[in-house]
Amino acid sequence: MTAILSLTEGGYKLSKKIEKSFKSPKLFTLHPDENDEKLKLPLKEFTGEIFKRYEKIVFVMAVGITIRVISPYINNKKTDPAVISVDERGRFAVSLLSGHLGGANRVTKKIAKEIGAIPVITTASEVLNTKSVDMIALDEGFAIQNMEDAKTITSLVVNGKKVGVYSKVPITKHLPKEYKRYSSLEEIKEEIKTGNLQGVLIIDSLKTSYFNNIPKAVLIPKKTVIGIGCRRGKSKEEVIEFIKETLNESNIYEESMFKIATAWVKKDEKGIIEASKKFDAELNIYNKNELEKVHERFEKSKFVEKITGIGNVADSCGFLASNRGKNIMKKKKKNGITLSIWTEKGEE
């Protein structure tokens, strides 16, 4: 969601042009027409009201005013909204906050193109025509395991140092020359010994203990799928704890989870529903016809088959949700909950 704020008649007129860059933005001004919202004063307090409600905020006013009103609410680059300031005449569009993860740099360029302004972007990776680790994460949809480590590797890159990259998944966007791809961790080890690398970037859903003697950052692809079945009435705490425990035993990052899959008979099971929310994972529900086509591939449970007519829920659901991917861990049972871990098809 995007909010566009203006104080003057000229700023409001420019906001009308800027809104073409977004889908269904909200315009706030002191004297709006019937389609927009009234901006309340004082501006600093009003900014506090919308700061957590919108992913992007465009201030059509001076940079100085914008900085003063947002400063009390700036908290964390992972959660702060993208903030862009555009002068009333539309000469400059300035990326002020959350340039990478929040997308302010991209939004700034988009606005500048729409209104014919000059985009002002000052983040080092853009200025030096390279790419930060958090920008790679944003481009590819990866999670950042540790933001401080990401900053360290980005600092190496912007200073012209070489960083070795090992990725278990395809990278769709071009990586600048400072990042050198390797096909195995062993190759990177050898390069470190020769002094050719000053840092390492690992892109994998699995934890690794390698490279503790050199700066390292980890990006986590969202590739892990959990197939699940359980007895009725299992609490969210039981389900969540078992998922966490199982992922940890398998050396899989929790952040890599992107789907939880179960059978139609469990579509209203609160423990499973709440677990999907906790892990921010898409909940896939499969019907009997879909599962009948694949359940013969897996070990059957007479109890499950008696209740559902399907011999296997966890493996079958994980198999389908992972696009018939790779089984990472065969089904595991604990206290009436059964889990199966899969990785989505397409991982190298």
Domain count, the chain: 3
Residue 226: pLDDT band with limits 50, 70, 90 = very high
CA-CA distance, 267 to 338, in Å (whole number)?
Answer: 16
Clarify whether residues 118 and 8 are in a common domain: yes
- As a whole number of angstroms, the distance between CA 273 and CA 239 comes to 10
Q: Which long-range contacts does 10-16 make (Cβ < 8 Å, 24+ apart)?
A: 10/88, 10/89, 11/60, 11/61, 11/88, 12/60, 14/60, 14/86, 14/88, 14/89, 14/90, 14/115, 15/58, 15/60
Are 206 and 255 found together in one domain?
no
Give, to the nearest 10 degrees, the angle between helix 133-140 and helix 147-158: 110
Lowest mean pLDDT among 66-70, 112-116, 305-309: 305-309
Residue 134 Cα distances to 106, 144, 152, angstroms: 14, 7, 11
pLDDT (tens digit, 9 = 90+) per residue, 120-140? 888 756 655 678 898 889 889
DSSP letter string, 16-48: HHHGGGSSS-EEEESS--TTSEEPPSSHHHHHH
DSSP state of 204: -
- What pLDDT sits at residue 172? 84
Q: What is the mean pLDDT of residues 6-13?
A: 94
One domain, residues 239 and 290: yes
Residue where a domain terminates, one of 87, 122, 157? 122
At residue 124, the pLDDT reads 59
- AA letter at 173: K
348 within some domain? no
Mean predicted lDDT score pLDDT of the chain: 90
> In the structure encoding, which two tokens stand for residue 278, read together?
């906790």
Q: Identify residue 138 by its one-letter amino acid code.
A: L
Same domain, yes or no, for 309 and 238? yes
CATH label of the domain that carries residue 188: 3.40.1390.40
For residues 104 and 96, the answer to whether their CB atoms sit within 8 Å is yes
Please state which of the ranges 13-22, 102-111, 339-348 shows the lowest mean pLDDT: 339-348
Please report whether residue 172 resides in a domain.
Answer: yes
Evaluate if pTM is beyond 0.85: no
Nearest to 124 by CA among 155, 164, 149, 91: 155
Is residue 157 located within the same domain as residue 95?
no
88, 122, 156 - which closes a domain: 122
pLDDT of residue 129: 62
Instruction: Tell me what the mean pLDDT of segment 294-322 comes to.
Output: 84
CA-CA-CA-CA dihedral for 168, 169, 174, 178, to nearest 10: -20
Domain end call among 203, 220, 237: 220
Residue 241: give its domain's CATH number: 3.30.420.180
Write out the residue range of the structural domain in which residue 159 sits.
133-220
> 144 and 235: one domain?
no
- pLDDT at 307 exceeding the cut of 90: no
pLDDT, tens digit, 9 for 90 and up, residues 251-289 = 999 999 999 999 999 999 999 999 999 999 999 999 999
State yes or no: pLDDT of 18 exceeds 80: yes
Rounded CA gap, 7 and 9, in Å?
7
Cα gap 15→287, rounded to integer Å: 48
Q: Which two tokens stand for residue 239?
A: 């389900």
* Relative orientation angle of helices 9-18 and 104-115, to the nearest 10 degrees: 100
What CA–CA distance (Å, rounded) separates 163 from 152?
A: 11
- pLDDT (0 to 100) of residue 66: 94
Q: What's the pLDDT score for residue 125?
A: 60
Q: What pLDDT was estimated at residue 25?
A: 93
Instruction: State percent of the chain over pLDDT 90.
Output: 66
What tens digit of pLDDT does each residue of 145-187 get? 998 999 899 889 888 889 999 999 988 888 888 899 999 999 9
- pLDDT (average), residues 56-74: 94
In a domain, 253, yes or no: yes
If asked whether residues 228 and 330 sit together in one domain, one would say yes
Please, is 329 exposed, middle or buried when counting C-beta atoms within 10 Å of its C-beta (0-12, 13-18, 19+)?
middle
